[in-house]
Structure 1
Amino acid sequence: MPMVTTWPLSVGAPRDLISGIPRTALDCLRETRPAVLAAFQLRYLAGIALAIGSGPIAGARPVLQGVLGSLAWFCAILYTYLYNGCTDYHEDRINGSTRPIACGRLSRRTALAVVRCAACAALVFAAGAGPGPLLLCVALLGLGYGYSAPRTLWKNRTPAAMAVVLGSGLLTYCAGPLAVGVSPTSPALLLTASAMSLWMALVGAVVKDLSDIAGDAAAGRRTWAVTLGERRTRGLAALGACLVGGGFTAGAALWAPRLLPTAGVVLTGAVVLAAVVLTARPGDSRSRRRRPYRVFMTTQHLAHLFLLAHAVA
């Protein structure tokens, strides 16, 4: 009678795959930077809050579309920053980044699979939010792709990076109102969208490079921090911050007095950022070089939270 050989069934692999999903999701969020995801959601909500002040919404459908638009924006920003992390792998390692892809905790192959899923999900959610948000979402994904894609590499030059973040900010402030069926044309919304998008472009797009000069230079980038030097770049960042903070405050005083408290937050943040960026030393650690970016990010978080709290009150 022939012998029958039996092989034990492996049950570890599927379990490992399933148990690894939460860890992979967490690593993707860390790579995307939760502070960035939160900032874009706050911009989206601020756009709605400022728009409905001049044209209130009615019914459950606009609320549902607003939620779908928020999910679309979350996925689109996840796509943008996760794809950027995949393409920044080599310079991030040179710069000593602790993000998951640079550290090897998250493989680029896995991250790119999530990138594709995030882009598809963003389009599906945006389609549910309406034709306006869908069009803006396509534009946002295009900016995210052009920023990091090897054929365009807009991230390699500061003016191009400024244009990308300026556009992404304006698109975000417009997306929320369009999702709930309100025109994004109120003076308060236009002023806030312009000022805070310029805060992203003239401040955030500049100070983010101060801690990454070595890696950017090795990758052949031509950012201001590389071409102009750290000292001049810091001076430009301080000037940009003060111009935006002062301009926002002056604009609020002239056209939208109810925005004066929010503008005051931005002006205060601009003064703090200028002090931090101008007192830095050449031999500072990477953590200290990141301080201006942290001030930039904290300022916009506080400004939007202040604005939303004032709108609800």
Structure 2
Amino acid sequence: MFENVPARLEESLRAACADPAVREIKDTIAAGLIIAEYLRIMSTGPDAHSFFDVKKLDGGGVSYEHTVRVGIIAQCLFDLRSTSGFSEICRRFKGRDFRATFFELFAANMLFKAGFDIQARPEIGVKGADFDFVASNASATINVEVTAMNVASYSPPTVRNALEKKRSQLSSDLPAVIVCVHPETWFAHPHLDFSLMRVAYRFLRGTRRVNAIVFVGEQHMLDVNTDGFGALFFTTVAHLNTSPRHPTPLNFLFSGSTQSPESIHRRMIGGVPLSQAFDHRTSEFHRWVDHVVPAEQDG
């Protein structure tokens, strides 16, 4: 039913949820076990990386930021476990910038959900051949480069410089997409979308190598109607090159929308949905958790 899931992972989850008192957090337990299995790191405790947002609450427990962060990383890993480049993506979490590597994982998962296989390889230090991964299906092969900016304040030159640097790492023989991630603090800029659109169009007018730029921003949101629940939103904005060297369909960038302009927003939710924690369990991750720890076992 669920291919390529290590037996020890299922056994660990089943054992960890044997106590009825902890079954209500079975998703969080499963997420931590998946991260430990595939990345060989702990997502909680004193040795956890700061990216996991481990924040202790008064009276015990951890904040929603930690829960959603662990959940989205685990779901991406679980989705990609059978892809060609999975072992290389996991390897990159060792000794590299964790945030940047996560967004490579996130971008790969975005392409995977659109029906692409993901192929990744170690860096070789050659310009034009060191892009982050290749996404391929029966009708297209796309080179993908991801940049995760961490400058707290928005500046158009910062974005332009990042795009130019990533363009040089892409080969010119295949369609290419640059995924450009910006910090949450940039949403404070009053005209962020418009300014990013201008930067993107100016950049795309000067190149035929890049078919599209996808800006990604994450936003945390606390649900004031519940006790401590929150969500992690990923907002994507795609800008298409009108005259790329290698045209290819990129309709998947506009999934879920009835519009088809050159630029469009798409909001994706990861982690714990506002006011609806664990109510919508349609992902493979949630179906696997319910398979291992069936609902009738819940307290």
More helix by share: 1
More strand by share: 2
Quick check: which has more Rg, 1 or 2? 1
Higher relative contact order (CA 8 A, sep 6+): 1
TM-score, L = length of structure 1: 0.31
